[in-house]
Amino acid sequence: MKTTTSTKVALAVDLGGTNLRAAIVHREGALHHRKSVRTPRTKKEALDQMISLLSELKDEAGRNVWHVLGVGVSTGGRVDLEKGEIVDSTALLPEWQHVPLRDILQSTLQLPVCVDNDGNCAALAEQMFGKGRAISNFIALVLGTGIGGGVVVENKILRGARNAAAELGHISIHYDGPQCSCGNRGCIELYASGSGLARLAKELLKSGTIKLEGMPEDQITPQALADAAQKGNAVARQLVEQAGALLGVAVAGLLNTFNPERVILSGSLTNIGELYLKPFRETVRARAMTVAWDSVEIVVSDLPDPALLGAAILAFG
């Protein structure tokens, strides 16, 4: 690509429960110099890491004589849009309460900074560049460590009173389910996300119900479970299928609530494919109201990293 000083770019960072990702993003949506590291456990380390990744990218943009318009941050947690502050977060990002992320990054990087929740960022990216283009009503679900959500109603991202709407991972599906770090019980994220599947698998390992050869407890990933299922491990298969079906229970409720034209799935769990997606679709079909099911198309995103891309869109303004 021929580029000049008039080439305008944004720096984007996505703070997830497992990975911290960053990239330089061009206006037309191309991601350059993508970087991904494990999210450090403490807030201080994560902040330092974020600043170091963004500084590297800023230097890289400088070397390419690209004009950096600003920084966009996609993060788990409830975000005060006006202040650019992470107000509250679950155990996936411990310690991230009342963190004035925008001010911290702005003063360090000397660039304008915008911050939003990762599910909202993903919905924004789908709307601009993905399968949400020209779709007035859709739901974006990011199925990763947690479950991020974004809801677009009549072309607008649904934000609610304080930008805390669409925390779709925290729809409770079990009255008596385990405690979730959001304060509720039995949230769908506890069953159908990467962290949820790992939690369930660990419980089964402890009780001796499941044997996962060559998979130490701290390396139980949805993909590893899916691989075990493919190799004939019936318990692993049942876990993954159950995760898909339970997500279907929550999404059927969302169809009845929002009557979207599309549900756009992204995130690492979609890589499992049909083992997870088939029971998901079947449950949605079985449980949603007929008109709601008949109006919807369930699709998998074709964007490489919707939340990261959405962060850049924030910075482009």
CB of 203 to ligand BMX, least distance (A): 20
For residue 208, the tally of other CB atoms under 10 A from its CB is 7
Q: Does 90 bind ligand BMX (CB under 6 A)?
A: yes
For residue 282, the tally of other CB atoms under 10 A from its CB is 14
Q: Tell me if 178 sits within 8 A of 190, measured CB to CB.
A: yes
The set of residues, in sequence order, having a beta carbon less than 8 Å from that of 240 and lying 6+ positions away, is 197, 222, 225, 226, 229, 272, 275, 276
Q: Does 78 bind Zn ion (CB under 5 A)?
A: no
Among 9, 17, 130, 186, binds ligand BMX (CB under 6 A): 17
Nearer to ligand BMX, 76 or 130 (CB): 76
3-state secondary structure of 316: helix
Q: Does 119 bind ligand BMX (CB under 6 A)?
A: yes
Q: Does 92 bind ligand BMX (CB under 6 A)?
A: yes
The beta strand positions in the chain, using DSSP E, are: 8-15, 19-26, 31-38, 67-75, 78-80, 85-88, 113-117, 138-143, 147-153, 156-157, 262-266, 297-300
Question: x/- site string to Zn ion, residues 157 to 186, per CB under 5 A?
Answer: -------------x---------x-x-x--
Q: Does 146 bind ligand BMX (CB under 6 A)?
A: yes
Among 85, 116, 118, 305, binds ligand BMX (CB under 6 A): 118
Q: Does 197 bind Zn ion (CB under 5 A)?
A: no
- To the query of whether residue 118 is one of the catalytic residues in this protein, the response is yes
> How many residues at the interface with ligand BMX, by CB under 6 A?
19
For residue 179, the tally of other CB atoms under 10 A from its CB is 11
Among 11, 16, 23, 31, binds ligand BMX (CB under 6 A): 16
d(CA 44, CA 28): 33
What letter represents residue 174's amino acid? Answer: H
Write out the residues near ligand BMX by the rule CB under 6 A. 16-17, 76-77, 89-90, 92-93, 117-119, 144-148, 167, 169, 189
Write out the residues near Zn ion by the rule CB under 5 A. 170, 180, 182, 184, 187
Catalytically active residues are 118
